[in-house]
Amino acid sequence: MRRPVIAGNWKMHKTIAETSAFVARLRERVANVNHCDIVVAPPFTALRAAAEAARGSNLRIAGQDVHWEPNGAHTGDISAGMLMEAGATAVIIGHSERRRDHGETDEMINRKLKAALAAGLTPIVCVGETLEERESGRTQEVLSRQFEGGFAGLTPWEFSRIMMAYEPVWAIGTGRTATPEMAAESHTYLRELSRRRFGEAEAERLRILYGGSVKPDNIAGLMREVQIDGALVGGASLDLESFVAIVQYPPLVAAGRVG
Ligand code: PGA
């Protein structure tokens, strides 16, 4: 059985001071949680503060992006080694906002992914279609292209160390969540692609998170789907109460989710 993951993607929110205070309170509130992994991804400037506030707790800290080179003339970029030094153990790669704002391609994402793996970070790789792509019936074609490009050249062992996040672009920050059935359909497809490329065992082991307007009131429905292994939460992860409520989904679904 796959261990669920609830991850908060803070995007360009929270200062160092806000991060320290938030993580200090969060760790107390989730100290007894052992049904899922909990990840928090603050901006680069606050990574170290987050890691210090989380030390010795059940929280993992993630970066929101990484460059593929270990160092060099890349103004504004951060390497995997730098993320590790700041206390991150995971990194989000290929988020649709980076694909959109920074022109990230599947090839770049593939290079970032390999750099993260080489450094020992857990990559959380995002894929997902736009509204136009969904409405023109091209969701699977887009996912397949992102999968083939993003995961090119990986060995099954490398693939076993990643997490995937299915984030339909039209559901991010819009309040328009994919229904659990829609999300599960794409997750099933991504698992099928994984099976074809990396084999049954790796596909079954792969954790696929759903992202896009996840809130305390829709997490239970999503987590009832056995294909959905967790959530990548944006807006609702910025508020302590709502993030804690999302992390604490199990009492709501305990009856519905079976291995
Ligand atoms: P959202 O963002 O929860 O605010 O829709 C999710 C994400 O972009 O990871």
Assigned fold of 5-255: TIM Barrel (3.20.20)
Q: Is the CB of 232 under 6 A from ligand 1?
A: yes
Q: Is the dihedral of CA 147, 203, 205, 114 positive or negative?
A: negative
Please provide the distance, in angstroms rounded to a whole number, between the alpha carbons at the two ends of the chain.
6
Specify the pTM.
Answer: 0.96
Amino acid at 119: A
167 assigned to active site: yes
Q: Whose alpha carbon is nearest atom 3 of ligand 1?
A: 234
Q: Is the CB of 213 under 6 A from ligand 1?
A: yes
Contact between residue 90 and residue 84 where contact means Cβ atoms under 8 Å apart: no
Domain boundaries, the chain: 5-255
Over residues 182-234, the pLDDT tens digits come to 999 999 999 999 999 999 999 999 999 999 999 999 999 999 999 999 999 99
Q: Is the CB of 9 under 6 A from ligand 1?
A: yes
Structure-block tokens of residue 214? 């996840």
35 assigned to active site: no
- The minimum-distance atom of ligand 1 relative to the CA of 211 is 6
Q: Is the CB of 169 under 6 A from ligand 1?
A: no
Over residues 101-130, the pLDDT tens digits come to 999 999 999 999 999 999 999 999 999 999
